[in-house]
Structure 1
């Protein structure tokens, strides 16, 4: 498996991956999210590739205070093979190089399997509420 930066030619494969992994929601346009990421720290948009096929992704960010990881996805047929661990290790490495002291991930509270994945990587639950407000509505 190879981990590399996202290329625009990956777009269709990444959207299909996110759909297969259950990350796409009706209120988020994944193509718009990709365009937004390419405008901010595009070098931190990671793709894992196996035999030339996209099998994983992670959108990584750093705001100078905290790091974040979004859209961590692994092809369901490849889950359990260590690709998610490898993507997170690379995200952590890149963030550490930038001087990032801490990473936050957001997980839907009913996604017990993914919560277990992150606990296995030594992530712990924070005593904080996550709140959001949509500023731009994606067109469907």
Structure 2
């Protein structure tokens, strides 16, 4: 499996993946977030690729010193294989390298099924719809992506 920054040629694979994991309304919102983030910083839009197919994707954004996770999706046939964990770890590393002090995940009707996953990664309830992780120490310099 290869983790890398989004490329324009990934758009069909990523949108197909979001169609499998989100409502039509959520998919349209996700595409808007994707377009805005690609114009700002492509390094925070990540894909997981296996056998020349997109099997996972995540979009990150930064506002001041806070990073935000959006649109984590893993192909149903590949869920439970650590792909979501690897994508979030790589995005956390990239956030850290850009000076982010904490990371927040918005949990709503379309993403509440991911809450246990984020709790497992060390995120805590910050409010009724936000999970947060605050770094008190430096992340490892190298995070394995294989």
Whether these two folds match at TM > 0.5 is yes
1:80 partnered with 2:80: yes
Q: Partners of 1:8 and 1:41 in 2: how far apart?
A: 13
**Aligned residues, how many?**
130
Between 1:10-19 and 1:35-44, the stretch displaced more is 35-44
Provide the residue aligned with 2:108 in structure 1. 108
The structure with the largest strand share of the pair is 2
Alignment partner, residue 64 of structure 1: 64
* Partner-residue secondary structure (3-state), 1:80: coil
- Partner of residue 135, structure 2: none
Structure 1 Cα separation of the partners of residues 117 and 52 of structure 2: 26
Deviations 1:79-103 (A, max 9, x none): 0000000001001111111111100
TM-score by length of 2: 0.79
5+ unaligned residues in a row in structure 1: which ranges? Answer: 131-140
C-alpha displacement at 1:111, in angstroms?
A: 5.0
- Where does the alignment leave 5 or more consecutive residues of structure 2 unmatched? 131-146
Is the contact between residue 67 and residue 104 of structure 2 (CA under 8 Å) also seen in structure 1? Answer: yes
| CA RMSD, Structure 1 to Structure 2 (Å) | 2.2
| Secondary structure, counterpart of 2:124 in structure 1 | coil
